[in-house]
Structure 1
Amino acid sequence: MRGVVLSLCAVLMAGAPALAQEAAPEQDVLGTSSSSGSGMGKLLSQGYEIRTAVLNGTRYVVFLQKDQSAYACEFVSLTKSRCGSIN
């Protein structure tokens, strides 16, 4: 299972700059607004666990997982994040 998560992380990191450029500010990959970190906060409250965090340029990307579902959240600023499903 850990290998699957790491593989997904590698694939996402390869395309993360493209995703960051295509998404509008304060919009997540799924198209809903997420301010004050509510996107990641909502996932954490639903039982998702942080698996890893990586630095992507000047921003962090945090990978969360619950059972067979995984999300990646990119911090736009200290209090704003964009999250999207990666599976």
Structure 2
Amino acid sequence: MRLAPLATLAFLALASTVSAQESVDSGATSGGMRGGSMADLVAKGYEIKAAVANGTRYIVFLQKDQSAYACEFVSVTKSRCGSIN
């Protein structure tokens, strides 16, 4: 299955990016990681491919053509997204 390696890679990339982002800007907005919010990405035509529970948060993977993003739900109304390729 092609999605499992992508999900693992995305999780590792997101984990390091999120740690760096939190240390730089602890009051990040919904577009905190240069990817915009998940709503912005869905509006641009990105499709949800997978979702993974990460403790009390969820990581959602989105893809459109050759571009992919991972979004972390910080709260019900706030998400942080970053490109994984």
Structure 1 residues 18 and 29: CA distance shift in structure 2, 3 A: same
- The answer as to whether partners of 1:8 and 1:86 remain within 8 angstroms in 2 is no
C-alpha distance in 2, partners of 1:22/1:16? 10
Question: SS at 1:61's partner residue?
Answer: strand
Q: Structure 2-normalised TM-score? A: 0.77
Structure 1 residues 77 and 84: CA distance shift in structure 2, 3 A: same
Report matched runs for 1:4-15 at 5 Å: 5-15=3-13
Q: Which residue of 2 aligns with 1:29?
A: 33
Report matched runs for 1:2-81 at 5 Å: 3=2, 5-23=3-21, 24-25=25-26, 26-27=28-29, 28-30=32-34, 39-81=37-79
Q: Which runs of 5+ in 1 are unaligned?
A: none
C-alpha distance in 2, partners of 1:66/1:12? 15
- The answer as to whether partners of 1:52 and 1:64 remain within 8 angstroms in 2 is yes
Q: Give the RMSD, CA atoms, in angstroms.
A: 2.0
Q: Structure 1-normalised TM-score? A: 0.76
Q: Which runs of 5+ in 2 are unaligned?
A: none
C-alpha distance in 2, partners of 1:78/1:57? 15
